[in-house]
Chains A and B, each alone.
Chain A
């Protein structure tokens, strides 16, 4: 075996100094060493030259400018510019409205428009439909289509186009069309939807993907496969390209019906997965806006000279599996104990960084059903323990908290876990993959699901969305009176405040679901970005690309 000492013919003992070592080598070796050093030196020299060369063009040509430009506070919109925005990535195709799933529509907003738009107060604004009339018997509604609107492929928006779109929704058996019977085009610019029964939530889906219009000519020409990733609509921007995981690109549509708009030359929806990457990109000037759930970046970015366009709220709800007989949550006392054990203020403050609020009831303040005087449960761990004992769990129990992946704040879930642990409830936090979460949702779960309930201006739609529907949240036990109240509330011609408040009171008294905090989705932008309209409409994906402009 070689011993560790007799290694090197060239270098000598470890114990000698470098100088001595050098001297003890023969002349030959010394020259060689220098020779080697020289070539090494050359390598280092050229490498640093290269690096220096890299730095030069980089610092000179870094795009977007280092200091965010100061925007004019209000003022006349200026034309020009390319808006680079990072938003929720398209998880599924966004070109065909009756196939669009959930927030994937985000990627198509510049190009697509709906029949009507709903603002946060629930007021319906005419958009592609100029006016409408609901029949006296509630069995049909007729829309007058705006004239002079063109699709991106040059064809006109007329009643035939609208009929085609709406009929496709019915054919695809989209849930919202369940109460629809048929659609007919009465004349060139009037379309009538015949209903099986009247439901006052009618206009909500029509302000979303159900009422979104694409060009039938383009759809027939490109076929379903070709149209999937290629939205040909009436919007202010034309679709240019989609490179998966990179960007969706749009350019200004010259023949947009709202003359004078849009102001921007182009929009690039960049796709990024990680908030750190988005933040770094914004700081480096590579993008102009990014959207993010959670408040931790807001304070930091504001201090660095960016603006916060707070976009949307969501009440994060704990959903107990009250349907299961053997579940502790079947008992109202236990649900009340859970609600009493959580310090909502602390969570909102610690995780929200100023952008979150405690949520005490399911409804939002903007919704008509909101109960102004309801105070909910005050934070009181001692009382929570008493309630648990009264319910038959003096030493607590084991359960699970299942937050929705990527959307529900992980740390907030852990915070809630901590609060429950303080009163003796041993909760495990399980963050499943999205498809498993769906399974829980649709096939049943054990424990508490934790998910933000999105903002809807229409309270009825809100209730229907989360309590009914083909597969939603099967493990929540609805109080027996709920069904009747809900049916009565949706049958009136216009939503009745008293009826809706009755539902809200029922939910509060029964603690069917346990609201915790209200989070916001924030859009952080450079100061020269204006009027994106993120807070204006009822749901945050539908911002206003036509109104947005950038100052120089």
Chain B
């Protein structure tokens, strides 16, 4: 079996039932992936239902009881404004996950559209769009996001936009590559000969075949997006108070690293777990959906 380098041809359609079973078997086959999936489920549950279980209001300040050590009443202590750390962690799951997912969604949407158009039409369209994408790719994503965030100003929306735009080129490249190879397929050519409109072909036939790589890339990128939000918050450019996003919590607690380390340690650990989970699930998805993607994503 020789190994091909370059974008793989799409896999021929397989019978649904066997495919599903095989998918699950390969996906959950490695134990880290299963652990990652479990962690993701826990996180999403925390994000959606957490507020019901949070012991305190994460925004309720108690200026008489700031920076307290862990006690039975406050399992992880309180922060510099007397707010309960555990409650903030639980609520923080929402914002952190939301920022990660929306940012990547923005990047994926814009990037995929650009890549699709560039790959499908080829020629000058391709050259112009891909030059533009390559230009953006030459800039380190954090640097790009940082410049954007500094200019747009603080706030959740701006962070999502800044991070999303800096992740867009990767998707554009990926989808373009996929589209280029799919485009040459016989059944696409026959559709064109039959007179189907470009838009219809792109949306109905090309895009679905790109979905696997897009999904895998999305999952793998969410971790990176969350880390970028955390870095932006650390630089003071991220989400504005009193939001309980984990990145912002690490930034807030950084001042007390030597005296109350748990304030930074806990959200930092939470971030690590989330990113780890998404990466594991992404790996699993890639192996299960199309292992030939291993050299590409």
Task: Given the known inter-chain contacts A1-B291, A414-B241, A414-B242, please indicate yes or no for A431 contacting B29, CB distance below 8 A.
Answer: no
Contact size range, B: 20 to 34
B22 nearest in chain A by CB position: A1
- Which residues of chain B are within 8 angstroms of A268 by Cβ–Cβ distance? none
Asked if B150 and A415 make an inter-chain contact with CB atoms under 8 angstroms apart, the answer reads: no
- Assess whether A432 is interfacial by the CB under 8 Å rule: yes
Tell me whether B63 is interfacial, beta carbon within 8 Å: yes
Residues of A within 8 A of B257 (CB): 276
Min CB–CB distance A28 → chain B (angstroms): 27
Interface residues of B in 146-175 (CB under 8 A from A): 150, 153-155
Say yes or no for A351: interface residue by CB 8 A criterion.
yes
- Establish whether residues A429 and B240, one from each chain, have CB atoms under 8 Å apart when the complex forms: yes
Number of A-B pairs, beta carbon distance below 8 Å: 66
Q: A4-B29, A346-B63, A350-B66 are in contact. Are A276 and B255 (CB under 8 A)?
A: yes
CA of A2 to CA of B59 in the docked complex: distance in angstroms? 52
Is A410 engaged at the interface, CB distance under 8 Å to the other chain?
Answer: yes
Contact assessment for A432 and B63 in the assembled complex, using a CB-CB cutoff below 8 Å: no
Do A296 and B255 touch across chains, with their CB atoms under 8 A apart?
Answer: yes
Tell me how many residues of A have a C-beta within 8 Å of chain B. Answer: 30
**Residue B209 interfacial (CB < 8 Å):** no
Does residue B2 face the partner (Cβ distance < 8 Å to A)?
no
Complex-state Cα separation, A551 to B59, whole angstroms: 49
Question: How far, in angstroms, from A432 to B240 measured CA to CA in the complex?
Answer: 10
With A276-B257, A418-B242: A433-B150 Cβ-Cβ less than 8 Å: yes
Contact indicator per residue, chain A 340-377, by CB within 8 Å of chain B (1) or not (0): 00010011011100000000000000000000000000
| Contact indicator A436/B241 (Cβ below 8 Å) | no
A417 to B59, CA, bound (A): 10
CB B14 to nearest CB in A, in angstroms, measures 12
A interface footprint on B214-241 (CB within 8 Å = 1, 0 otherwise): 0000000000000000000000100011
A300 touches B242 (CB 8 A): no
Binary interface encoding of chain B residues 17-36 relative to chain A, with 1 for a CB under 8 A from any of its CBs, else 0: 00000000010011000000
The dominant DSSP class at the B interface is: loop
Taking CB atoms and an 8 Å cut-off, the chain B residues in 56-87 that contact chain A are 59-61, 63-64, 66, 80-82
Q: A283 to chain B: closest CB distance in Å?
A: 9
Partner of B254, one of A1, A2, A276, A430: A276
Q: Could you say which residues of chain B place their CB within 8 Å of the CB of A4?
A: 26, 29-30
Q: Given A276, A415, A433, which contacts B61 in the complex, CB threshold below 8 Å?
A: A415
Q: Which residue of A is nearest B1, CB measured? A: A2
Given contacts A275-B255, A300-B258, contact A430 B81 (CB under 8 A): no
Nearest-neighbour CB distance to chain B for A66, whole angstroms, equals: 16
- Nearest A-chain residue to B150, judged by Cβ: A433
Bound complex: CA A414 to CA B81 (Å):
8
User: What are 28 A-B interface contacts by the 8 Å CB criterion?
Assistant: A4-B26, A4-B29, A4-B30, A275-B255, A276-B257, A296-B255, A300-B258, A343-B63, A346-B63, A346-B64, A349-B63, A350-B63, A350-B81, A351-B80, A405-B236, A411-B80, A411-B81, A413-B241, A414-B242, A415-B81, A418-B61, A429-B240, A429-B241, A430-B155, A430-B240, A431-B154, A431-B236, A431-B241
Given contacts A4-B30, A351-B80, A432-B154, 7 further A-B contacts (CB under 8 A): A276-B255, A349-B64, A350-B81, A417-B241, A430-B155, A431-B236, A436-B153
- Shortest beta-carbon contacts, A-B, top 9: A346-B63, A350-B63, A418-B61, A414-B241, A350-B66, A414-B242, A429-B241, A411-B80, A4-B29
